[in-house]
Amino acid sequence: MEQNGYDYHYQYHEPEVIKEAIYKGGEALKKAPEVVGVPTGVEGLDELFFTVKEIDGRLQKVNLGGIPKYSVCNLTGVNDTGKSLMAEQFAIAQAQKGQKVAFITVETPANFVAASLKYRALAMGYRFEEFEDNIILIDAASNYKLREYIPDLLATLAYAIKTYKIDYTVIDSVTGLFENKEAMARSIVRRLFNFMKKWYQTAWFISQKRSGHEMLSAEAAGGYAVGHIVDGTMVLAKELITSAYAARLYNAQIGDLVRFFRIDGCRMCGHDTKTHFMEITETGIVKILEPIGGKR
Ligand SMILES: Nc1ncnc2c1ncn2[C@@H]1O[C@H](COP(=O)(O)OP(=O)(O)OP(=O)(O)O)[C@@H](O)[C@H]1O
Ligand SMILES: [Mg+2]
């Protein structure tokens, strides 16, 4: 049986040389996946990631056309900023292309999420029936064992990945997995992250921010745990316009709700660093718009 990190740490044993953890640069490079983009299904987002490629002996910036494949991204924001909508769009976009997606729902029971996914597909111009079984829902909202005991969740997910040949995973939300044990946030997120890497998943982890946190910072509930561990963070925010100054600044009117989006970091590729306006349409579709301050 694979040893759990905690047991290993706390059991005394003679120091051991772990040879399989040592790689020469060339060996490690052979195992490195090429950086390719995965279109997200979110208008305006895919253009914000780029990589540099060696072309004729020179490094040139090349648009990735999506988030880097095999990356684990954290989507953070306070309540009602569009995290779930965006994650659903991502899941639909993959499923519609024939890819298999694990959707671990921690907040909302699976049947409600399925109904929401169906609407999301319709709003995106697709017929959900044509690919509905490409999304495998794992209902941790209704099952406390999955929510409270990470090894059960990971064993269930590993089983689903093997059975359905899943390449994409969404967890909405990881915060729900460390509710009332925030001190564990870092270790829980680390285990989830390592699992995604081991199984070559391209994954979105949703994490909630407390409203006390600075609006556009990447700090999520449980402190900075999530942001440091994952490959990249996308921050969603909203602001109610209450002053003439803000109204002028954002070209809005007093009483409007203005939404923002920012990529806080991505280890696997280059990315746009500006804060963008964001829109949620009447049918619940998230779109990333121009940077605040306009295009420069
Ligand atoms: N057709 C729609 N379906 C769902 N949400 C819509 C729709 N149209 C607009 N919205 C807006 O999107 C918001 C919901 O966003 P979403 O559920 O993705 O939030 P969230 O960031 O996941 O919040 P939480 O942290 O509470 O889960 C609603 O508050 C609403 O303002
Ligand atoms: Mg949500």
**Residue appearing with tokens 């059960």:** 152
Q: Are 86 and 97 in contact (CB under 8 A)?
A: no
Greatest mean pLDDT range, 31-40, 137-146, 178-187, 224-233: 137-146
pTM here is 0.90
Residue 198 lies in a domain: yes
Q: Are 141 and 106 in contact (CB under 8 A)?
A: yes
Residue 149 lies in a domain: yes
pLDDT tens for residues 167-213?
999 999 999 999 888 888 889 999 999 999 999 999 999 999 877 66
Between the CA of 145 and the centroid of ligand 1 the distance, in Å, is 27
Q: Candidates 79, 84, 85: which one to mutate for ligand 1, based on the most atoms within 8 Å of Cβ?
A: 85
Q: How many Å from the N-terminal Cα to the C-terminal Cα in the chain?
A: 56
Q: What is the CA radius of gyration of the chain?
A: 20
Total domains present in the chain = 1
Residue 257 lies in a domain: no
User: In this structure, which ligand is nearest to the CA of 85?
Assistant: 1
Residue 248 lies in a domain: no
Q: Candidates 174, 280, 282: which one to mutate for ligand 1, based on the most atoms within 8 Å of Cβ?
A: 280
Residue 56 lies in a domain: yes
pLDDT tens for residues 59-106?
888 999 999 999 999 999 999 999 999 999 999 999 999 999 999 999
Residue 46 lies in a domain: yes
CA 217 to chain CA centroid, nearest Å:
16
Residue 64 lies in a domain: yes
CA-to-CA dists, residue 255 to 137, 244, 249, 288, angstroms: 38, 10, 14, 21
User: In this structure, which ligand is nearest to the CA of 78?
Assistant: 1
| ∠ CA 59-65-66, rounded to 5° | 115
Residue 214 lies in a domain: yes
Q: Which domain holds residue 181?
A: 35-234
How far apart, in whole angstroms, are the C-alpha atoms of residue 220 and residue 28?
Answer: 32
Residues with CB under 6 A from ligand 1: 77, 79-85, 208, 280, 282-284
How far apart, in whole angstroms, are the C-alpha atoms of residue 281 and residue 84?
Answer: 14
Residues 6+ apart with CB under 8 A from 63: 37, 47, 49, 50
CA-to-CA dists, residue 112 to 39, 124, 140, 148, 282, angstroms: 26, 18, 13, 21, 19
Q: What confidence tier does 10 reach under pLDDT thresholds 50, 70, 90? A: low
Is 122 exposed, middle or buried, given 0-12, 13-18 or 19+ CB atoms closer than 10 A? Answer: middle
- Provide the CATH number for the domain around residue 62: 3.40.50.300
Between the CA of 77 and the centroid of ligand 1 the distance, in Å, is 12
